[in-house]
Amino acid sequence: MKGIGIFSLLLGLAAVGLSVFAKVETWGNFTALVDDIKAGEATSPLEMTLVTDYASTLDTLHIAAWACGGLALVLGIVAMAKTKKTNLVPGFGALLGVAGVALSFLTMP
């Protein structure tokens, strides 16, 4: 069960990392480009295509964060239920999985 707990922790870290990457890197570019289009500063077809690409990238990052977070939560709970002694690694994995999913809601287009 130690391996499942460590895997849960890694998946939880991946969920948080995906959500942070979506917020730091992609969300800023997406909102700036949408604001430029609304202001009339960006009118070329390339910018319109870029907005759809940013939106699809955000969708992909959200789905990956939800998948990693959900797996981290389930595996963390299973690992904690199977161990007889107190082991905090799967608990932290489950907590990070939930945090990763919650953080992904900050960047929903």
Separation of alpha carbons 8 and 13, rounded Å: 9
Residue-wise pLDDT tens digits, 75-95: 999 998 888 887 888 889 999
Separation of alpha carbons 12 and 97, rounded Å: 4
Mean pLDDT by 10 residues, the chain (109 residues): 88 95 91 88 84 92 95 92 84 92 85
- Domain count of the fold of the chain: 1
Q: What is the pLDDT of residue 61?
A: 93
Q: Whole domain around residue 86: which residue ranges?
A: 2-107
- Note the Cα 16 to chain centre separation in Å: 6
Separation of alpha carbons 51 and 53, rounded Å: 5
CA end-to-end distance (rounded Å), the chain: 38
Tokens 């800023």 locate to 28
Is the sign of the CA dihedral 60, 15, 68, 3 positive or negative?
positive
